[in-house]
């Protein structure tokens, strides 16, 4: 009850709505199975289960002994992911009518709701099963939430193994079913041909990550163009577990910490360096559940790398620029006995005979950066970052004194209700407001976090995004003020 009173007290102080850009719901198994069968036929459920098994190879962990887990290096899978001890909250994540009834109690005016199962489904390896399952889920989500458009909207799941399948599902989910938010996988696992041919049994484990910008299998510009045409923001909510260092066989927390941030970092810098924000300046992109710390670091990294490795500066490191006479003189004067015995070798800085491919030298050529200020102009306006209520790093987004380029990064509030890290939905708003109480951010910063930035994000390509919702009037006032 204390948390509920605290939420009510905070809402009484606020002169603006609270928009949740990343709530969560849980699929209701019996109903989900009906939609899968209806979409794919009698065999669809078995195909869905088999595709899940192949995608989540770590689930074999439960069938293995500790020795076998180490032998196969079977990753510890997620477990206990829902707020089971809080039955009311668990049911709230399942039943839209109950969530709708409790939104005032939770402290939310409007919520964008992301699914659970879909995050895995959109990366199924089998093309026909993946596309069938995404279509079934989108019909399920559209039907389930159709009664409450004034306070909540579901997210459509879009497969991205090819641009064509993405475009077709965008046209269906957005164009025909009227969904307003879309979720794309952060990465696609592509088999490495040389390994897949020689060791086909390892094809699903030996993979590279396709991130749609740099070194992609396809040109994804048609997908970004379709998003603009349909007036939807591409959002990314993909996991980073199971690759890099996050493959512990015994510790799920080790695998879980930072995995969303890693996946977001991968796709964000690929879009940036791939020139997507240069070619599609009106489009916005949202990266969820990873917070903003990684983005702050990435912006600084881009700045530092451009300063040292832009197309002109990078030639400072060309070994052919070594002054051989000066090197020889320094070698004889300071080389010492051990080095002199090894002989003079100018190639210590790199092989002088190797010629780099001219077209491969400028790593910033796709985003056409000509001056340092191009970096924040291509990074800050288009990118938005979903931050949870208990994330202590969120306040850094507003730190224009210390952030690279003195930038204020676009953070949006994501409640994450429905997941294990929210044991009581009524505590989400008070946790977020602690940043104001502890004077880490100002009340205006908080308004940007939970309201204004979300308005900017969702109305950037769809001005009527909030039409017919309970926040419509407040949104119109913000947009009117911005236009003045």
pLDDT score of 206: 78
161-207 per-position pLDDT tens digit: 999 999 999 999 999 999 999 999 999 999 888 887 888 777 667 78
Asked if residue 98 has pLDDT above 50, the reply is yes
The average confidence (pLDDT) of the chain is: 92
Residue 170 CA to residue 163 CA, distance in Å, equals 10
Q: To 10 degrees, the CA torsion angle through 469, 472, 475, 480?
A: 150
What pLDDT is stored for residue 116 in this prediction?
86
* 63-77, 197-211, 267-281, 312-326: least confidently modelled range: 197-211
pLDDT value at 1 more than 50: no
Q: Parallel, antiparallel, or unpaired for β 207-210 and 188-191?
A: antiparallel
Quote the CATH superfamily of domain 2-308+382-483: Metal-dependent hydrolases (3.20.20.140)
Please, are residues 172 and 151 in contact by the beta-carbon 8 Å criterion? Answer: no
Banded pLDDT at 355 (limits 50, 70, 90): confident
In terms of Cα–Cα distance, which of 237, 259, 289, 255 is closest to 61?
A: 255
Is pLDDT at 309 greater than 80 in this prediction? yes
Distances in Å between the Cα of 463 and the Cα atoms of 126, 211, 447, 466 are 37, 29, 20, 8
Burial 177-212 (b: 16+ CB within 10 A, else e): bebbbbbbbbbbbbbeeeebeeeeeebeeebbbbbb
Please name the residue that has the structure tokens 């004034």.
150
Closest CA relative to residue 104, chosen from 92, 115, 116 = 92
pLDDT at 47: 93
Average pLDDT over residues 412-435: 94
Encode 25-46 in three state secondary structure: CCCCHHHHHHHHHHHHCCCHHH
**Cα–chain center distance at 311:** 30
Q: How many residues does the chain have?
A: 484
What would the pLDDT profile of 285-295 be if each residue is shown by its tens digit? Answer: 999 999 999 99
Does the pLDDT of residue 71 top 60, yes or no?
A: yes
Of the candidates 362, 237, 345, 347, which has an alpha carbon nearest to the alpha carbon of residue 287?
Answer: 237
C-alpha dihedral sign at 207, 212, 214, 220: positive
Mean of pLDDT values over 27-44: 94
Is the CB of residue 21 less than 8 Å from the CB of residue 414? yes
Q: How many other CB atoms are there within 10 angstroms of residue 472's CB atom?
A: 16
Domain residue ranges in the chain: 2-308+382-483
Contact 136/36 with Cβ under 8 angstroms?
yes
Helix (H) or strand (E) holding 183: strand 181-184
Nearest CA to 383 out of 260, 472, 296 is that of 296
Answer whether residue 430 shows pLDDT above 70: yes
Q: Confidence band (pLDDT; 50, 70, 90) for 356? A: confident
Is the pLDDT confidence value at 347 over 80?
no
For the cut 60, the answer to whether the pLDDT of residue 314 exceeds it is: yes
pLDDT, average across residues 426-441: 95
Tell me the percentage of the chain whose pLDDT exceeds 70. 96
Q: How confident is the model at residue 331 (pLDDT cuts 50, 70, 90)?
A: confident
Residue 3 has pLDDT above 60, yes or no: no
């Amino acid at each position: 009850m204390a948390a509920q009173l605290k939420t009510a007290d905070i809402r009484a102080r606020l002169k603006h709505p609270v928009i949740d850009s990343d709530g969560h719901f849980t699929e209701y198994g019996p109903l989900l199975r009906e939609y899968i069968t209806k979409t794919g036929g009698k065999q669809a459920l078995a195909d869905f289960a088999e595709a899940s098994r192949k995608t989540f190879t770590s689930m074999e962990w439960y069938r293995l002994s500790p020795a076998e887990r180490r032998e196969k290096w079977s990753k510890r899978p997620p477990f206990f992911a829902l707020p089971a001890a809080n039955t009311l909250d668990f049911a709230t994540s399942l039943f839209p009518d109950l969530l709708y009834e409790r939104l005032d109690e939770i402290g939310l005016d409007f919520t964008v709701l992301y699914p659970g199962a879909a995050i895995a489904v959109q990366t199924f390896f089998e093309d026909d099963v993946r596309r069938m399952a995404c279509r079934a889920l989108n019909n399920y989500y559209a039907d389930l939430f159709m009664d409450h458009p004034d306070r909540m909207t579901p997210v459509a799941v879009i497969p991205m193994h090819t641009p064509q399948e993405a475009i077709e599902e965008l046209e269906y989910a957005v164009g025909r079913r009227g969904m307003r938010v879309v979720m794309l996988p952060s990465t696609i696992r592509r088999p490495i041909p040389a390994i897949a041919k020689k060791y086909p049994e390892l094809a699903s484990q030996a993979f590279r990550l396709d991130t749609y910008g740099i070194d992609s299998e396809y040109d994804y510009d048609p997908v970004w163009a379709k998003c603009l045409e349909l007036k939807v923001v591409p959002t990314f909510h993909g996991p980073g577990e199971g690759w890099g260092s996050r493959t512990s066989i015994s510790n799920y927390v080790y695998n879980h910490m930072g995995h969303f941030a890693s996946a977001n970092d991968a796709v964000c810098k690929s879009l940036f360096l791939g020139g997507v924000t240069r070619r599609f300046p009106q489009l916005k992109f949202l990266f969820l559940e990873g917070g903003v710390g990684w983005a702050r670091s990435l912006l600084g990294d881009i700045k530092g790398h451009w300063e040292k490795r832009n197309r002109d500066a990078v030639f400072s490191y060309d070994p052919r620029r070594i002054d051989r006479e000066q090197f020889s003189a320094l070698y004889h004067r300071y080389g010492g006995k051990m080095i002199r015995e090894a002989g003079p070798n100018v190639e210590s800085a790199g092989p002088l005979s190797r010629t780099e491919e001219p077209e491969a030298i400028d790593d910033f050529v796709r985003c056409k950066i000509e001056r340092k200020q191009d970096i924040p102009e291509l990074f800050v306006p288009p990118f938005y970052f979903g931050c949870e209520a208990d994330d202590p790093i969120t306040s850094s987004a507003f730190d224009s004194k210390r952030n690279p380029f003195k930038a204020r990064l676009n953070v949006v509030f994501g409640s994450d209700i429905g997941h294990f890290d929210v044991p009581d939905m009524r505590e989400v708003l008070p946790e977020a407001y602690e940043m104001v109480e502890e004077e880490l951010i100002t009340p205006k910063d908080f308004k940007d976090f939970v309201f204004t930035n979300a308005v900017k994000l969702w109305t950037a390509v769809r001005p009527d995004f909030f039409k017919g919702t309970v926040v419509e009037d407040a949104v119109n006032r913000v947009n009117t003020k911005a236009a003045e």
